[in-house]
Amino acid sequence: MKVRDFEQGRCFLARLDLDAEIIGQITDLAKSEGIETGVFSVIGALKQAELACYDQTAHEYRTIRVDGPVELVTAWGNVSLRDCRRFVHAHAVLADSEGRTRGGHLMKGGVFAAELCMQELVGEPLIREHDPATGLYLWGDR
Amino acid sequence: MKVRDFEQGRCFLARLDLDAEIIGQITDLAKSEGIETGVFSVIGALKQAELACYDQTAHEYRTIRVDGPVELVTAWGNVSLRDCRRFVHAHAVLADSEGRTRGGHLMKGGVFAAELCMQELVGEPLIREHDPATGLYLWGDR
Amino acid sequence: MKVRDFEQGRCFLARLDLDAEIIGQITDLAKSEGIETGVFSVIGALKQAELACYDQTAHEYRTIRVDGPVELVTAWGNVSLRDCRRFVHAHAVLADSEGRTRGGHLMKGGVFAAELCMQELVGEPLIREHDPATGLYLWGDR
């Protein structure tokens, strides 16, 4: 297990913009506020979204399109660095008008309304590196 | 994007009361501890619940009744002010005895057992105002 | 409602080990870092898992086996003490390659990749005691 400890920095609450793309908005907040490491949650509603499931054998993401309006029951994720840029890793649970849920890696989503809580973590930044065993970019030793 | 930053205040862990109504209990904690802004998570089990999905066209919540006992897989939400009162906005994922899930906006729920983590945020309170574009009460500019 | 307030301690981000058991890894982190009280979230992917739903009448957990690889859409939980040992209480939402979700109490899971955020809470530790009304071990008065 690779472990790094941080101190809490600022905590941001944000109302995301109607019709914006959710991952882009979260990335923009991290950039504009200078957050290199953080964790976040979001609740709200999306106009449409794209989830993904990682194929653990083929080492590829399989896309899952979610058409039509859905509740963003919750999204949770983190911010760290990859290739010297801020990288947002987010997972989400979505629900339709009857409460039926779909979940996975959140690739993108069109915001209807979304309330974000971003906790800045202060310490040596985590850097994602390619991990041959999984094919993913995971936190490395640096 | 409307962004406000806060400092962490106290963090509360609470065991909610058997047979209490969950949103009422969270609101009571915010009132009794003087929390104007906060974020929270809950895990536990409910005797029954009511979820909702917001109709993005009609601008109305559609109610989803969940009869019978369910795991409260997770609830997540925030506390802010609306009409000068503390307002709890919560979403939840519920699961039945076979692990089948339903999710959405959490309107109410009867507590079997529930463990709450409430993080107080210290700063200028966020105030919900009617947003004509969505029909929702979202964080305004004040 | 039984309420206790804490101050934030350290916040840990950890990359869990390939093929490790997830609850064991979270428990190990709590032990090695001396965390008696904390809250955590995890996102990632599991090779297989075991969920459970608590039967509120029979006062027994019903096991739900999840074979095959799944996204760990999110896990959320807490650390407190039971019988003088650190006890991890975790719930999780899992999703398959089509985004179909299952959820419940997370008994165990084999890690493919998992990113953990553990927030240490500093204060008088919470101690789980048997609660006759529910049959569960809940936070007591001590």
Separation of alpha carbons B129 and C30, rounded Å: 42
Nearest to B38 by CA among B93, B123, B119, B141: B119
- Are B25 and B40 within 8 A, CB to CB? no
Mean pLDDT of A108-135: 98
Mean pLDDT of B113-134: 98
Chain A residues 18-47 within an 8 A CB cutoff of chain C: 37, 39
Please answer yes or no on whether A1 and C98 come within 8 Å at the CB atom.
no
Residue A38 C-alpha, separation from nearest chain C C-alpha, in angstroms: 9
Tell me if chain B has a CB within 8 Å of the CB of C139.
yes
- Determine the longest span between alpha carbons in chain A, in angstroms: 46
pLDDT tens digits, residue range B21-70? 999 999 999 999 999 999 999 999 999 999 999 999 999 999 999 998 99
pLDDT tens digits, residue range C62-74? 999 999 899 999 9
What's the ipTM? 0.97
In terms of DSSP bridges, do strands C70-82 and C127-130 run parallel, antiparallel, or are they unpaired?
parallel
Tell me if chain A has a CB within 8 Å of the CB of B3.
yes
pLDDT tens digits, residue range C70-122? 999 999 999 999 999 999 999 999 999 999 999 999 999 999 999 999 999 99
Of all residues in chain C, the one with the smallest CA distance to B69 is C56
Chain B residues 83-112 within an 8 A CB cutoff of chain A: 89-93, 101-105
Position B141 pLDDT exceeds 90: no
Separation of alpha carbons C69 and C52, rounded Å: 18
| Length of chain A (residues) | 142
Tell me if chain C has a CB within 8 Å of the CB of A49.
no
Nearest to B9 by CA among A11, A85, C85: A11
